[in-house]
Structure 1
Amino acid sequence: MNYLGRAFWLSFIGFACSSQVKIEQLPSPRSLCGEGPHWDVATQSLYYIDIEGPESTILRYDYKENKTYPATVDNVPLMTFVLPIENSTDEFLVGSDTIAKVIRWDGKSSKGQYVRDAFAVESGDYYSTNRFNDAKCDPVGRFFGGTQRYNECKGPFNVATASLYRYDRQIGVKHLKGNVFISNGLTWVANKFYYIDSCAHDLKEFDYNIETGDISNERTMFLNRVDGKTPDFVLDGMTSDVEGNLYIATYNGHKVFKLNPKTSEVLAEYVFPNVSKITSVAFGGPNLDILYATTATRGDTQDEAGHLYKITGLGTKGSAGVKVKL
């Protein structure tokens, strides 16, 4: 399979900087909905998911080889996130419907293996149309992840039946927040936890207790509005840098925001001219100074849509993904 590589330079708003930011398309399959990027230090690889291909696919971008390996998993037709498991080299936790499952994959073969169910978060008729969406681990390896009902934020099915959950191997699953439409971006900065419900069109901040994993004191710190109105795009996946700034992907927005959570000021916008659906972002690379971005097609005709991208020249770095403790 041949993949086209594209690159373009950006100037960005908000502050002066002598360096230029560069966005490059990486060798990667064209995903219907690429999601959930996670940088793994041990393998120097970025793992992510194509949720909506003919079969959901787990993918690994190998930094040294500059190559992406895809695989499907028998008996796991839906995968929505991927998290490497602590003390394992080939086992991963993936979201499937409302069950978190353990799979085994060597990172190169075209097939992975289902191992076992790890835990479930929802059951019953009320949740029958829900599925897992975005998930990450907090700094000490606890699972944080949520569900969603429908893919779109408009129409008669705009019902907040989803939730945000935490899994801790000592106490199991804990419900953290209800009345969610599409549980999405998550990141931690010091004693704060940031969270996106895409169809609420805002960014929430919580106090975060690293000792217990509890979150409290919910407040809205950023409203997604353009000229006072809800725009056509929604906030999607999110990460943070070592300086505490947030990087937020926009679905149908052609851009990634850089946001100062202390002031709610947008410091920069990194624009993808021919890619509208930016789904999520994660820092990675040997120096953790590359911002990787997953994208989706979902009907877009541009050849650039649906591929994996990297953004360099940001002048900062982030943190690697944390493996989940099961």
Structure 2
Amino acid sequence: MHTITITLIALAALCRATMSYKVEPLPDSYAALGEGPHWDEARQSLYYVDLEAGVLLRYDYAQNKIYRTQIEGESFAGFVLPIAGNSQEFAVGCERRTVIVQWDGVSPKAKVVRTLFEVQPEFKENRLNDAKTDPQGRFFGGTMRYVGDEFEHRHGELYRWVAGGNVSLVKSDVGISNGLAWDEKAKKFYYIDTTDYEVKSYDYNFETGVASNPKVIFNLRKTSPKDHLLPDGMTIDTEGNIYVATFNGATIFKVNPSTGKVLLEIKLPTKQITSVAFGGPNLDILYVTTAAKFGQPAPAGTTYKVTGLNAKGYPGVGLKI
């Protein structure tokens, strides 16, 4: 009897761990192509972009309010990375340039003050897509073709940039450069090229910023091309599990990267899940950006918070310039 009771308690705990999460929309959080969520611990704010509108957004946790700004003269904002040590400057991907944008977090207009670097100037049909900083504040981000078929024309590349240095090539032959995450404990870097339908792990030297020995750890290919789920943005929790957003899948997969096993499927009320980031005062809220591309109906484009996951993540790291 005692053993049965213990077993039932264990089962109940397992059910709570896997089924009790709650998905809620953030107020006034719409972005036609929401992307690049970044939790800024110092400001207790979530930053993200409306990518094809050149718009930055900030969700203020304490106020439960969204602020948005249009970057003057720009039509793209591929990512937003707060600059370390400067509360009003951000690195933003505008076409193939990574620029410094000045924004007070409230005003409806923001300005580009200078360009940090540019990539692929000869590829006019390419643009920067997802980018993040590694735990040491280095830039990692990549490009994709945004005119035509990016699955056929793999002209994208993945880059690294370090303060005071030049841009260096990490990987070529990229279709859509997307999700990035690092695990200092396991000494790993995780990367998604959406057109490969998979997540790769790399051995990562945190002193040098060099990634090596790519290995497929999670594969979303199906038997029919029409069934392929598109892996998009990604984050990681403190136990080393990765969270993979699926564009067209209405799902975030929590995956053990050591085994490739799916530990949890987090279901969302819209299909085009673009990216994820942990945040909140305790870093236990999973924020989720979505898109409303190709005529997707409401609530597509809403940004969500997922609570009750019994997991914690890491705050975003400011870019060192």
CA distance in 1 between counterparts of 2:208 and 2:172 reads: 20
Structure 2 unaligned spans of 5+: 1-12
SS of residue in 1 equivalent to 2:30: coil
Q: CA deviation at 1:229?
A: 5.9
Q: Please point out which of 266, 282, 300 is paired with 1:305.
A: 300
CA distance in 2 between counterparts of 1:28 and 1:238 reads: 24
Structure 1 residue 217 and structure 2 residue 208: aligned?
no
Contact 1:290 1:311 in 2 (8 A): yes
Structure 1 residue 98 and structure 2 residue 96: aligned?
yes
CA distance in 2 between counterparts of 1:223 and 1:78 reads: 30
Structure 1 residue 136 and structure 2 residue 136: aligned?
no
Q: CA deviation at 1:153?
A: 6.1
Structure 2 equivalent of residue 158 of structure 1: 152
Give % identity.
47
SS of residue in 2 equivalent to 1:68: strand
CA distance in 2 between counterparts of 1:201 and 1:213 reads: 25
Q: CA deviation at 1:117?
A: 0.6
Q: CA deviation at 1:231?
A: 2.5
Q: CA deviation at 1:76?
A: 2.4
Structure 1 residue 292 and structure 2 residue 290: aligned?
no
Superposition pairs for residues 103-114 of structure 1, below 5 Å? 103-114=101-112
Q: Write out per-residue CA displacement over residues 243-288 of structure 1, whole angstroms, 9 at most, x where no aligned residue.
A: 000001000000100000000001110111x300000000000000
Contact 1:37 1:49 in 2 (8 A): yes
Structure 1 equivalent of residue 8 of structure 2: none
Structure 1 equivalent of residue 244 of structure 2: 248
Contact 1:224 1:230 in 2 (8 A): no
Structure 1 residues 215 and 324: CA distance shift in structure 2, 3 A: same
Structure 1 residues 111 and 297: CA distance shift in structure 2, 3 A: same
CA distance in 1 between counterparts of 2:297 and 2:140 reads: 34
Superposition pairs for residues 216-295 of structure 1, below 5 Å? 216-226=212-222, 231-272=227-268, 274-295=269-290
Contact 2:126 2:147 in 1 (8 A): no
Q: Write out per-residue CA displacement over residues 82-124 of structure 1, whole angstroms, 9 at most, x where no aligned residue.
A: 0000110100000011110001001111111111011112222
Structure 1 residues 29 and 286: CA distance shift in structure 2, 3 A: closer
Superposition pairs for residues 26-65 of structure 1, below 5 Å? 26-52=26-52, 55-65=53-63
Compute the TM-score of the two structures, normalised by the length of structure 1.
0.90
Structure 1 residues 232 and 223: CA distance shift in structure 2, 3 A: closer
| Counterpart residue type for residue 90 of structure 2 | F
| Counterpart residue type for residue 174 of structure 1 | S
Contact 1:296 1:305 in 2 (8 A): yes
Contact 2:222 2:228 in 1 (8 A): no
Q: Write out per-residue CA displacement over residues 142-191 of structure 1, whole angstroms, 9 at most, x where no aligned residue.
A: 0000000137867xx62111000000114321100000000000000121
Q: CA deviation at 1:301?
A: 4.2
Structure 2 equivalent of residue 4 of structure 1: none
Q: CA deviation at 1:228?
A: 7.4
| Counterpart residue type for residue 44 of structure 1 | Q
CA distance in 1 between counterparts of 2:296 and 2:225 reads: 28
Q: Please point out which of 181, 187, 198 is paired with 2:181.
A: 187
CA distance in 1 between counterparts of 2:222 and 2:213 reads: 27
Let me know the Cα RMSD of the aligned residues: 1.7
SS of residue in 1 equivalent to 2:253: strand
Of residues 288-297 and 115-124 in structure 1, the stretch that sits farther from structure 2 once superposed is: 115-124
Structure 1 residues 309 and 162: CA distance shift in structure 2, 3 A: same
Q: Please point out which of 107, 116, 119 is paired with 1:118.
A: 116
Q: CA deviation at 1:77?
A: 2.3
- What number of residue pairs does the alignment pair up? 305
CA distance in 2 between counterparts of 1:137 and 1:301 reads: 31
| Counterpart residue type for residue 71 of structure 1 | T
Q: Please point out which of 16, 19, 23 is paired with 1:18.
A: 16
Q: CA deviation at 1:227?
A: 5.2
Of residues 28-37 and 181-190 in structure 1, the stretch that sits farther from structure 2 once superposed is: 28-37
CA distance in 2 between counterparts of 1:140 and 1:277 reads: 31
